[in-house]
Amino acid sequence: MEKSRLEQLIEMLEKDPQDSFTRYALGLEYFSLKMYDDAVRIFEELILDKPDYHATYYQLGKAYEHMGNFDMAKKVYEKGIGVTESQNENHARDELRMALDELL
């Protein structure tokens, strides 16, 4: 029997727990499976370890939105906007601003 994508990502992460891309992919997989608590946990850990990994802020904010925690989503988007501005990541900044505007 083939392993699910989730099982594959968990195995990959067990082999290299510091791999930011795999951690991000695991968070996305949890999100796609509507396992928002797990997605938030993964994204929060990734932000703690790699605060400049700007794509995480958008996904974490969306996970909080799906959980109905709009205050946390707003805080995450605002923090992400600051990170993207400091990195001159204009496209990512604009996506975060749009998400924040839609939230408000």
Q: What is the CATH number of the domain that holds 97?
A: 1.25.40.10
Listed residue (15, 16, 13) closest to 41, CA to CA: 13
84-104 per-position pLDDT tens digit: 999 999 999 999 999 999 998
pTM over 0.85: yes
Note the pLDDT of residue 22. Answer: 97
Say what the pLDDT of residue 104 is. Answer: 81
SS3 17: coil
What is the average pLDDT across 44-50? 96
Residue 63's domain spans which residues? 5-103
Number of structural domains (the chain) is 1
From CA 24, how far away is CA 19, in angstroms rounded? 9
